[in-house]
């Protein structure tokens, strides 16, 4: 997968790995908006880094709902310096969403679905940027829309 350095337009290879206990040393609430230590044991935790580097650019907490063939994005966060108009890299959140989708498809094949419960101010953004659909309080991706996100961010 790639992320784009905003200042230069350069495409950089990124990777997603399971979060390790030693990673929590660099994950502060100030930089990542949430207390990620509270998420231990609540689902699977993942980090996005540039290939060959240890700096964490984004975080993902995934919960599995097998009876519903669904993976829920419990938390999704990009580091503070990659948030908003002055961000350093583009494509972090999209790559994490696509990773969640690929994970769901690997488990549930054509019945796979991913969902998230967005903050009110992000609801419209997720719908326009990622093509997410309303599912009551949650937004979701399945079928062709899910495959489109995966192809866009995990070519």
CB-based burial of residue 106 (10 Å sphere; 0-12 exposed, 13-18 middle, 19+ buried)? exposed
Q: pTM for this structure?
A: 0.95
- Is 131 domain-assigned? yes
Residue 25 lies in a domain: no
CATH of the domain at 146: 3.40.630.30
The runs of H, that is alpha helices, within 73-116 are 92-108
| Residue pointed to by tokens 């494509």 | 91
64 within a domain of the structure (yes/no) = yes
**Domain membership flag for residue 54:** yes
Q: How far is CA 34 from CA 18, 60, 112, in A?
A: 18, 11, 28
Instruction: Give the domain range for residue 107.
Output: 2-20+30-153
Residue 127 exposed, middle or buried by CB count within 10 Å (0-12, 13-18, 19+): middle
126 occurs within a structural domain? yes
Number of domains, the chain: 1
Is 62 a member of any domain? yes
Would residue 119 count as lying in a domain? yes
Q: What is the pLDDT along the chain (155 residues), one digit of tens a residue?
A: 999 999 999 999 999 999 999 999 999 999 998 889 888 887 899 999 999 999 999 999 999 999 999 999 999 999 999 988 899 999 999 999 999 999 999 999 999 999 999 987 899 999 999 999 999 999 999 999 999 999 999 97
């Amino acid at each position: 997968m790639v992320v784009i350095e905003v200042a230069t337009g350069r495409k950089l290879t990124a990777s997603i790995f399971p979060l390790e206990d030693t990673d929590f040393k660099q994950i502060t609430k100030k930089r990542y908006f949430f207390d990620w230590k509270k998420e231990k044991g609540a689902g699977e935790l993942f980090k996005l880094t540039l290939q060959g580097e240890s700096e964490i650019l984004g975080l993902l907490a995934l919960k599995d709902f097998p009876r519903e063939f669904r993976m829920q994005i419990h938390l999704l966060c990009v580091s503070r310096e990659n948030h908003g108009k002055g961000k350093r890299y583009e494509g972090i959140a999209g790559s994490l969403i696509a990773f969640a989708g690929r994970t769901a498809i690997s488990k549930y094949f054509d019945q796979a679905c991913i969902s998230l419960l967005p903050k009110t101010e992000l609801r419209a953004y997720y719908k326009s940027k990622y093509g997410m659909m309303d599912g009551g309080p949650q937004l979701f991706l399945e079928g062709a829309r899910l495959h489109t996100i995966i192809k866009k961010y995990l070519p």
